[in-house]
Amino acid sequence: MASVWIPSLESSGDSLLISIFVLMSLPAYFISDAHLGVEPPGAVPDREKALVRFVESLRGHASHLVIVGDLFEFWYEYNDYVNRNHFDLFFALRALVDSGCEVHLLQGNHDFAYGDFFPKSIGAQVHKELFLEIQGKRVYFRHGDGVARSDFGYRLFRRVLDFPLNRFLFRQIHPDWGMALARFVGRSSRKAGESRVIKMEEYLAWAKHALAKGNADLCVLGHHHVSGIWTVDGGLVASSGEWIKKLSYLRMEAGEICLDEFGDDR
């Protein structure tokens, strides 16, 4: 990665240049689909605590953390209240931002209703889709819900939730009741989705198109919970999988992407 010399800062020069260079050469990390707030059968015990430790471990060791959707099983913000169950995670993310790491969140189909809490209080930006230049590569991020044609039923469900009147009505419910209702709806939709066959070829066809359209080298998707790195015409497609039964993540270093799993030995 080429560094840029800034003449007006020449007096403090070397150390500034070194710190810019170090930041640019640090690895970037991508995770998705933690669905925090529920404990599906087979989930790794204390996986949210493990995620907090993972985020803490990146402090000073990462240029970017991109959370590619469905960090939460359900997310809703009220004007003066946020879900306190995730306080340690908020704190760790804020400390990571303060350490100089860029933190981005993609909206997922479960956590589509972000307000300004993450940008304002954490310093993490929220996006529907995102392009980033990382280590000389152009990377496209998107959660990936609604991509596969097999998702038709779900897409209909999402359209109902996106309707402003429904959001307004939801806001009138007491937060404790609203969260309980959302967990109930989530449980039934998960049961309905359990037998769903993941048509990876549809995700890859979509990603190939997105790479060409966005002139990108790498497309990072989540949603289907399958870990992998695939080669398609025009670039690579990568998915970390999930932070539920496995604590898997993607690491990008020197322009190369690889899959790994978080263990406490790290």
Residue nearest to Mn ion (CB): 223
Report the nearest approach of Mn ion to the CB of residue 67 (Å): 12
The count of residues in the chain is 266
Binding flag, residue 239, Mn ion (CB under 5 A): no
How far apart CA 208 and CA 217 sit, in angstroms, is 10
Q: Does 223 bind Mn ion (CB under 5 A)?
A: yes
Contact range with Mn ion by CB under 5 A, out of 11-19, 96-104, 145-153, 235-243: 145-153
User: Nearest-CA neighbor of 115 among 143, 85, 90, 79?
Assistant: 79
Residue 56: how many other CB atoms lie within 10 Å = 14
> How many residues in the shown chain lie near Mn ion by CB under 5 A?
5
For the segment 31-60, give every residue that binds Mn ion (CB under 5 A).
none
User: How many Å apart are CA 233 and CA 4, to the nearest integer?
Assistant: 33
Nearer to Mn ion, 109 or 240 (CB): 109
- Region 95-134 residues binding Mn ion, contact defined as CB under 5 A: 108-109
Write each residue from 158 to 177 as x if it is in contact with Mn ion (CB under 5 A), else as -, in one continuous string: --------------------
From the list 21-29, 93-101, 140-148, 198-206, the region that binds Mn ion by CB under 5 A is 140-148
Q: Candidates 70, 73, 102, 151: give the one binding Mn ion (CB under 5 A).
A: 70
- The residues binding Mn ion (CB under 5 A) are 70, 108-109, 145, 223
